[in-house]
Amino acid sequence: KSSTYGILFLYPWNLCNVCHVKPCRKPVEQLLKAVDGITLADVSTVAEKIISSPLTMASHGNVLNVPAYETVRGKFSSK
């Protein structure tokens, strides 16, 4: 069975299965099972969502030499 949201389980601090409030560390076996459940279709779906979403750009520190958003976006747009 495809685990479309299997990638979400890679983050080890999910909410506790018991109290559903505080974060609890998951066993490594659970992580490995989630990773094993990720299919090529899952990766393709996530990649398509990332590629089709608008570019987000952030700069920090000395930004005088950072190119304009339109310049960066142009480098990632399909031609």
* Cα 41 to Cα 46: distance, rounded to the nearest angstrom: 9
pLDDT tens, position by position, 2-61: 444 444 444 555 556 666 666 667 788 888 888 899 999 999 999 898 888 888 889 989
Residue with tokens 């080890």: 12
Structural domain includes residue 64: yes
Is the CB of residue 36 less than 8 Å from the CB of residue 6? no
User: Does the model's pTM come out above 0.85?
Assistant: no
Structural domain includes residue 47: yes
Alpha helices in the chain, H assignment, sequence order: 28-36, 40-52, 69-76
Structural domain includes residue 1: no
Q: Which domain holds residue 64?
A: 6-76
Is the CB of residue 13 less than 8 Å from the CB of residue 30? no
Question: What spatial distance separates the first Cα and last Cα of the chain, rounded to whole Å?
Answer: 36
Stretch 54-71: mean pLDDT: 90
* The pLDDT of residue 7: 46
Classify residue 5 by its DSSP letter. T
Tally of domains within the chain: 1
Alpha carbons within 13 angstroms on the beta-carbon side of residue 19 total 4
